[in-house]
Amino acid sequence: MKAIVSVFLKNGVLDSQGKAVQHALVHHGFESVQDVRVGKQIIIKMDEPDAAAAKEKVAHMCEELLANTVIEDYEIEIQA
């Protein structure tokens, strides 16, 4: 089982890196860019046959370590 975890700053928490990338893109001629958010993706390979159990474990990992829930949100996608 593979878990793909996406971690982003919460809405309302200023994403300085996203803003810098957005300005660079707009100045580079990509004028239709309205907003950019920069985050991380963490890919976890697990010896866990049950998708629901895998998701629960990964959620626990996010709360314990992978995300700082004071400033970040996370999303988990489980792939077979």
Partner 1 sequence: MKVGIIQFPGTNCEYDTQYAFTSLGCETQILWHKEESIPNGTDLVVVAGGFSYGDYLRSGAIAKMSPIMKALKVYVQNGGKVLGICNGFQVLTEAGLLPGALKRNEGLHFISTHHHLKVINNDNDFLRHCAVNQVVNIPIAHHDGNFYIDEEGLQELYANNQVLLKYTDAEGNIDNPNGSVDSIAGICNKTKNVFGLMPHPERAMESLLGSNDGRAMLEGFIHA
Window contacting partner 1 (CB under 8 A); options: 26-34, 46-54, 60-68: 60-68
Tokens of 3: 């878990």
Binding status of residue 70 toward partner 1 by CB under 8 A:
yes
- Dihedrals φ, ψ of 9, to 5°? -65, 145
Q: From the list 11, 14, 32, 52, which residue makes contact with partner 1 (rule: CB under 8 A)? A: 14
Which residue, chain included where needed, has tokens 């990964």?
A: 58
Window contacting partner 1 (CB under 8 A); options: 10-18, 27-35, 44-52, 54-62: 10-18
| Cβ 74 vs Cβ 13: under 8 Å | no
